[in-house]
Structure 1
Amino acid sequence: MPANLFIQNFELNNKLLTMVNAFLLLISITVIQIKLVSSNDNIGQIELRLENFAEFASEAVGTKTKINLPKQIGGLCWQLNAITREANGKKYLDCFVVNRSLDQRWHCAAQVTFNVTVNEKNVFTHKSHQCYNIRQKSWSVHFEIEELLKKCQSCQSDVVILTANIMCDPASGKTILLIDPLLVKENGEHSGSQIAVNKKFLALHSPFFDKLFFGEQQNSSGNSMNFSPIIQLDPPETLAHFKEMINVLHGGESILNVQGKCSNYLIRCNCKMTKLKRLHIASKYGLRTTKNIILKSITREDFSDGKNFMENHSVMSQLSEEDNEELDNHYRHLFPESSKEDVNKKQKIVL
C-alpha cells in the first residue's frame, strides 16, 4: 500500500524538533495512553505487616529488613521497606516507599499517603508529593520505636501495619509494547521486512493506521488473525526512515521523555511561569498529581504579591470549576476565615 504522502507529511527531523512541537506530540500520545489504560490503574495501595513488632524492634540495628511483595500501580512497580536504625541515642524505624522500575527514561509524579495502624487504629498519617525517577526512586519517613511500642501497648497489639496509598500521573518515558508485526516493502522488493508495532496505539493516533489495521480490507478478509497489513515504500523513502517515524509515534528515544521534562519543569522552584499558570497547564493536560504538587506549593506570599495580577486574573477565568474550588479550599487553609484582613486579600489573588 503506498504510504509516501503519509510519510512525507509526518517527516520529522530530530535536529530541528523544537521543545514546543515535542511537547504537543507527547501530549497527544499521553491522551491516547490514557484511553488505553484505565485511570484506576494509577491509584493503588501497598501494605507491609510487621508481626511480633516488639521482637523485630529488639533486634540489632540494621540486621533485619522487612519488605512486602511489589505491586504494579500506574504501570510502575512499587514496594514498602522497613528497617531499624539508631541516631542520637534513640532507635528508629525507617520506612521507605520505593519504586523498583529500571527503565532509565521513566518519570512519574506521585502523591503518597502513608499510614501506620495498630489494632485497626490509625496512629500516624503523612502525605508526600514528589517526582520519582531513576535517580530519586524512594521517599522515607521515620518513627521513634519507643513511641511505637507505647502505641502497641495502649492498643494491646503487637502487630504494626504500614500502608501507602499511591496516586500517580501516568508514567512517562516508558516504552509502549510493540507486539504486532507490520510488513514493510522497500523500493519494490518482493519479500520485505517485518517491524514490530502496537497497532491499537497507532490506530488511535492516525486515521491512516486505523484504516490499515482495522479498515475494509481486514473486515473483508473474514479472519483478522490471517490479515497481514503491508506498507509499500517508494523512493526516496527508506526502511530506516520509516522505522524512525514509528519510533517517534510510539514515544521512543527520539523525543527523550519530553512529558517528564515538562512535568519536572512545572514543579521546579526556578520555573518563571506563575504558579497559577502552571496549575492551569497541569490541569489542562491531565497531570493530576503534578497539579496537586503545584497547589500545595502555593504560599501566603503568592496570594499577596500583586505584580502578576492582570495575568493571573485572565488565567483564573480559564480554570475549571473543580480547580477553582480546590484553589479556594487551599486559600481558606492558608487564611483562616477568623481573620477578616486575610479574607479581604482574596480579592487580590495574584499567584
Structure 2
Amino acid sequence: MLHASANEPAHAAKPEADAAKKLAADIAKPASAKPAADKAADKTADKAAADKAAALAIARAADKTVADKEEKGEKAAAKPGKTSAITADKAASAISAQSEEDAEVDLSVRIAERLAEMRAKQAARVAAAAKAKKAAEAKRKKEAAAAAVVAAAAAAPKISNHWDYEGEFGPENWGKINPAWSQCGAGKRQSPIDIRDGMKVNLDEIDFNYRPSDYTEVDNGKTVQVNLARGNFMTIGNQSYELVQFHFHRPSEEKINGKGTEMVIHLEHRGPGGKLAIVAVLLERGKANDAIQTVWNNIPLEKNQQVASSEPLDPLELLPERREYYTYMGSQTTPPCTENVLWLVMKQPMTASPAQMALFSRLYPLNARPVQESEGRMVKESN
C-alpha cells in the first residue's frame, strides 16, 4: 500500500471535494420547477448545503491524511524490528546453507576417498591376478619344457657305454649304442679283416726294444689286460712307438686266407700324437708260454680290480722268432672303433698250452669281433 506524505493533503482531499460538489449539483437539478422566491431560497440553502458537504469532505480527507500519517509512523516504527528479524532469518538461512554446503563438500570428499580406496583395491586385485597369471604361465612353460625334455629323451636313441660281444649290445649294434661309436657301424677302415693276397714287398724290419718290466693286471670284464711300465719300444722305419698294454681275444679276430687261430695277443703301442700301432700275435695250441703263465697266475679275483706284479714280465717272450708280418691300415676292434690304426700281424704264430687256453676260455669263451669288409684296402706282406 502507498501512503501520502505530509505535503500531499490538498491532492488527497480533492477527490472528496469534487464528490461533494457533484452531490450538490445533483440535489439542485429538480429546483427548476419551483417559484423564483423559493428557487432563490433553495439556491441559498443548496449552496449552504453544498458548502457544508464540501467542508465535510475536506475534513474527512484531512482526517484520513492524519490517520494515514499515523499509520505510516507506526509502520516506520515497526520497520527496524522487522528488518532485524529478516536479517536474522537471512543469517540463519546463510548459516544453514553454509552447513549444507559444508556437508555436501564433506560427503563429496568421503565419496572421493571411498572411490579412490575402491579403485586402489581393484588395481591391487588386477595386479595380483596378473601376477598369478604370469606365475601360472611361467609354471606351465616350465612344466611344458620339462615335459618336452622328457619326451625328447624318451624319443632319442638310448646312449650307453655298455657293449658286449653277443646279443643286443653285440658288435652289429655297437655303432647304434653310442653316437661316439658311430665308426663301428659306418667306418670304411675297420678291423679285423680276413687277410688275403697280400702284396709281397720288402717291408721295413720291426725292431722290438722290449725289456723285463713291472706291470699291473686287470680283468676289465671284456678281457685280461696287462698295463706295462714305461720303457718298451717298437721301431719301424723311422717311427718309434711305445708299448702301453697287451690283452687277449678268443678266438683270434684276424684271419689269414679265411683261417683263424684259437687265440690272439694284441700288443698296443702309442706313437707321436697318440697314433696307434697294434701288433697281433696269433696263438695256437702247443707248448706252454712262460709269459702267458705269469699273466694267468696274477689274474685278479674280482673284475675291474687291478693287481700289481710281484715279479717283472718280459714282453719279448710273447713274440715269434721270425719277424715277417702283414700290414694294413685299420681300426681298434672294440668301441669306439677309432680308425687310422697301423696294424702289424705277425705271420708266425706263437703257442700256448691247452691248459692255458682252457683257463682263458673259462673266463671269456667268446670275446672276438667278426671280420670287417676290407673295402679295397691295400695289404702288404713281408717277402
Which TM bucket (shorter chain)? under 0.3
Quick check: which one's helix share is greater? 2
Which is higher, the Rg of structure 1 or of structure 2? Answer: 2
TM normalised by structure 2 equals 0.18
| TM-score (structure 1 length as normaliser) | 0.19
Structure number with the higher strand fraction is 1
